Amino acid sequence: METLLQSKAHGGMQGVYRHHSVSTGTAMTFALYLPPGEGPFPLVWWLSGLTCTHVNVMEKGEYRRACASLGLALIAPDTSPRGDGVPDDAEGAFDFGLGAGFYVDATQAPWSQHYKMWSYVTRELPALALAQFPLDAARQSIMGHSMGGHGALTVGLRHPGRFKAISAFAPIVAPSQVPWGQKAFGHYFGEEKALWRAHDSVSLVEDGARVDALMVEQGSADPYLAEQLRPHLLQAACAKAGQQLTVTVREGYDHGYNFVSTFIDEQLGWHAARLRE
């Protein structure tokens, strides 16, 4: 593993690291913030959205002060494989291909060779990070934004014993029912609709997935709210299933990191309280 950056921040250390991934067959880069102290530290996973890398939350998320105060480590992987030979959308669209891995293992060529983000974020990177850094495997939670909110919800719902809490900013809650998800799943999975359901948080709740702590925050001025995000679908599924869900609508906020950075301290505090239980 190669260290690309280590920089002190709020008494802790912000690092950026690169390694070869067996899952994707490419080099992968991730950011990790460690708070002051000896550890092992409770770990919050941050999954980023369309077009993003680890850099977006690291430079715009404003999480380090809260993480330092709360004693939380935060890890932010990339959103897709990258490099020579990794296919991209032929028309360069932002919602598919590079930067848009949707946290799934693709089964359809040519995407299936490298687009193995589910394996990377659920198995390979956790094993690497827990072996290399002072992190507490028994105290993990997961959060994300937009496509990464989709990832946080689906990863968390399918690993209820691993994560103490799951939250998301402006998530794509039902990718099987909206254009972004239908485009991605159609390319990555083809007509394998069982895989569509396995990576759709509304479908997972409908099919019996249950967790202890689930939270969504959404800006009322988000331009993608009605067409792509549709949090009411998750609210309805959770209400019908008896699954606890807290949804907070933030009046006047849009989809971007100004929204995220405004409320990330509160959301991290919510995670910290559950990681102490």
pLDDT digit string, tens, across residues 81-101:
999 999 999 888 999 999 999
pLDDT at position 90: 86
- Residue at token pair 């291909």: 97
CB-CB contact of 268 with 70 (8 Å): yes
Query: By residue range, what is the domain housing residue 170?
Result: 2-275
- This prediction has a pTM of 0.97
| Amino acid 80: pLDDT | 98
Q: Enumerate the active-site residues.
A: 146, 222, 255
Identify the pLDDT of residue 91.
87
Whole-number pLDDT of residue 149: 98
Report residues of the chain scoring pLDDT below 70: none
Task: Please report the DSSP string for the chain in residue order.
Answer: -EEEEEEEETTEEEEEEEEE-TTTSSEEEEEEEE-SSS-PEEEEEEE--TT--HHHHHHHS--HHHHHHHT-EEEEE-SS--STT----TT--TTSBTTB-TT-B--STTGGGT-BHHHIIIIIHHHHHHHHS-EEEEEEEEEEETHHHHHHHHHHHH-TTTEEEEEEES----GGGSHHHHHHHHHHHTT-HHHHHHT-HHHHHHTT---S-EEEEEETT-TTIIIII-HHHHHHHHHHHT---EEEEETT--SSHHHHHHHHHHHHHHHHHHHT-
pLDDT for position 92: 87
**Total count of domains within the chain:** 1
Which CATH number do you get for residue 81? 3.40.50.1820
